[in-house]
Amino acid sequence: MGHSLDTLVDVLKTAGEPTRFRLLALVAAGDLTVTDLTEILGQSQPRISRHLKLLAEEDLIERYQEGAWAYFRLKREGTAAALVRTLLTAVSIDDPILARDRERLATVKQARAERAQAYFSRNAAEWDELRRLHVSDAVVEKALLKLVGRTPVDSLLDLGTGTGWILQLLSDVYRRAVGIDASRDMLSVARANLDKAGIVKASVRQGDILNLPLDGQDFDLVTIHQVLHFLDQPERAIAEAARILRPGGRLLIVDLAPHNLEYLRDEHAHVRLGFSHETMAEWLEKVGLDVQEVVDLAADRQGGPSLTATVWLARDRRLLIADAPAAKEMTPA
């Protein structure tokens, strides 16, 4: 698709300034704050902020808030953003200025990873204890990949993304993805993991999964992995996930089957002790989703308590309703 003369000139004029081009190259490699960019480019914060404002006005970058911090990333949609990506591929990888920027970016990402690891280490003992009760990650991974399938997904939303495990697991499936979590510490871990894996088509941001900072009907696949048992009203999170789905989109839920380990309430903040097939089916039906598959994954643990994980795959039925008249016309009389 071609660009109009006005669009072409405006984008080239905005991106053609050296500092702004360097900023575009940096935010194309991941989500960065003004502080990050100031440290990398060695320029003042007001100057960097002014350039970012001009790039945003031209719709070349997007900005999102996370507490007191604002993050910036290269916009993935739109003709202007597509033109910028073309420009970025045209520049020599050996350019000394951009090469130095990449070195400083690597230093910033390394510091980010070290902060994330420090948080992870402080909580490792607690997480290891819980992990011993669960079915192995490998078993869950195999089940999820089988249910999601190999058909490409345009857009993925991971609610309660935590360490960003789902975003990494399904990175070969989606074109773009967003992870939402309420904890800034966990988002730091997720960003560090995405940096390490070199995944730039996914971003994470802070948000309440009961009141998502996103427009409705914008995602083909929504995942909720081991989150609902922490919620007082998990059905509200399911309703919010359904609101976000496009017609015919899918919701994938992984959570605990009913159990009687009461100590998890006090020691690990579990609010609900698992969910039955019947309860989950009722909640999904209420928000217009049809259950397609349910898989129980029992932990293979000899002696002592263990937890069974259940995977539910449901689909938004609106596409099926829309197709119904056409299907009826094709049916022989």
| pLDDT tens for the chain, residues 1 to 333 | 566 787 788 888 999 999 999 999 999 998 899 999 999 999 999 999 999 999 999 889 999 886 678 889 999 888 888 889 889 999 888 899 999 999 999 998 888 778 766 765 676 566 656 666 778 888 999 999 999 998 999 999 999 998 899 999 999 999 999 999 988 888 888 999 999 999 999 999 999 899 998 887 789 999 999 999 988 889 999 999 999 999 999 999 999 999 988 888 887 788 888 999 999 999 999 999 999 999 999 876 666 678 899 999 999 988 655 455 444 443 443
Please, what's the largest Cα pairwise distance for the chain? 75
Token pair belonging to 188: 């730091």
Instruction: Name the residue among 126, 159, 167, 139 with its Cα closest to residue 227.
Output: 159
> Angle at Cα 276 formed by Cα 275 and Cα 281, nearest 5°?
100
Nearby residues of 135 by Cβ (< 8 Å), 6 or more positions away: 297, 298, 299, 300, 307, 308, 309
At 200, list the tokens: 């730039």
Residue with tokens 């009913």: 258
Q: Encoding tokens for residue 165?
A: 């495990």
The tokens of 131 are what?
Answer: 């992990």
List beta partners, residue 63.
Answer: 72
As given in the structure block, the two tokens for residue 174 are 């989606």
Amino acid, single-letter form, for residue 239:
A
Residues in the chain: 333
3-state secondary structure of 246: strand
Tokens 């500092």 locate to 19
Q: How far apart are CA 300 and CA 302, in angstroms?
A: 7
